[in-house]
Amino acid sequence: MCGTSVMHSVLGAINRRDLVKLGAAASAGLLMSSPGGAANAQAAPVPRVGASRDTKVRLAKPVRLTATNIVDLTYTLNNSFPIIPVSGITFPFAQEPIATLERNGVFANKWTMFDHMGTHVDATNHFDPAGFPLEEIPVSSLVVPMVVVDMRAKAGKDNDALLSVDDLRAWENRHGPIPRGATLCMLSGSADKVGDPHGYLNMDTSNSMHFPGIPVPTIEFLLQERDKELALQQEM
């Protein structure tokens, strides 16, 4: 879940090149033609590589996946799941049965929801018109190393705690450099409040939300100092 004010402040400070790097990388090509015997190189439109056409996962270093190191980070969606409240736009999740085994021979529900709700993958075109829609993010970019920075102690003392560059350096001192292309997750303890929408958003009398986040300087450090293509997730 991404707070509108948080995302707009980040987008205002990061250029489009870096924004696209936060999502999926596009590939470029050349068209070669030789009218009249002369060979000319012409820039081709950037192909929109989609998961439906690019289904092979390519990892820089092979990873062996087993049932012992797969962790389910999803949460069951229900009508009390926290959402960012935007008047006239967002609304709680709703589910109602439209078919039953006894009456129809099949069980089915009707869902009413919007696409920033619950456990989900964000697409870069949610905030950048030149970004990728979800169906065009190469599947190969979705299987990557994960870095988890535990800042629950820090967040427990400050509802507005921020993941700092010093926090990342401390993580690297213990675990080594952040792998290239990793997904960086901030373990803030917010997951413990999923069943309490008011506690999760921690909104004050001026309707400002208070929860841990990742500030612009930290994102710039990751993109510029580490030159990584990162996916960032601020709640866990």
Write down the pLDDT at residue 225.
84
CB burial of residue 74 (10 Å; 0-12, 13-18, 19+) = exposed
| Neighbour count for residue 37 (Cβ, 10 Å) | 5
Under DSSP, the state recorded for 159 is T
Mean pLDDT of 95-99: 96
Answer whether 91's CB lies under 8 Å from 106's CB.
no
Mean pLDDT of 31-57: 42
* Pairing, β 146-150 against β 231-233: unpaired
3-state secondary structure of 227: coil
Instruction: Categorize the per-residue pLDDT at 103 as very low, low, confident or very high, splitting at 50, 70 and 90.
Output: very high
Partners of residue 146 on adjacent β-strands: 183
For residue range 50-72, list pLDDT tens digits in order. 444 544 545 556 666 667 777 88
Q: Using CA atoms, how far apart are residues 122 and 120, in angstroms rounded to an integer?
A: 6
Q: Of the candidates 197, 189, 203, which has an alpha carbon nearest to the alpha carbon of residue 234? A: 189
Torsion of CA 192, 181, 147, 172, to 10 degrees: -140
Q: Left if phi > 0, otherwise alpha if psi is -120 to 50, otherwise beta: which for 176? A: left
Residue ranges of alpha helices (H) inside the chain are 4-11, 16-22, 101-104, 152-157, 165-175, 197-201, 216-220
Write down the pLDDT at residue 230.
56
For residue range 136-170, list pLDDT tens digits in order. 877 777 777 888 999 999 999 999 999 999 999 99
Write down the pLDDT at residue 51.
45
3-state secondary structure of 104: helix
Residue 23 pLDDT > 70: no
If residue 40 lies in a helix (H) or strand (E), which one and from where to where? Answer: strand 40-43
3-state secondary structure of 169: helix
For residue range 169-189, list pLDDT tens digits in order. 999 999 999 888 788 888 998
Q: Using CA atoms, how far apart are residues 185 and 178, in angstroms rounded to an integer?
A: 12
The structure tokens listed for 134 are 């979800």
Mean pLDDT of 105-129: 89
Instruction: Categorize the per-residue pLDDT at 43 as very low, low, confident or very high, splitting at 50, 70 and 90.
Output: very low
> Domain 4-25+74-233, what fold?
Glucose Oxidase; domain 1 (3.50.30)
The structural domains of the chain, with segments of one domain joined by +, span 4-25+74-233
The structure tokens listed for 151 are 């800042």
Under DSSP, the state recorded for 7 is H
Q: Using CA atoms, how far apart are residues 136 and 36, in angstroms rounded to an integer?
A: 38
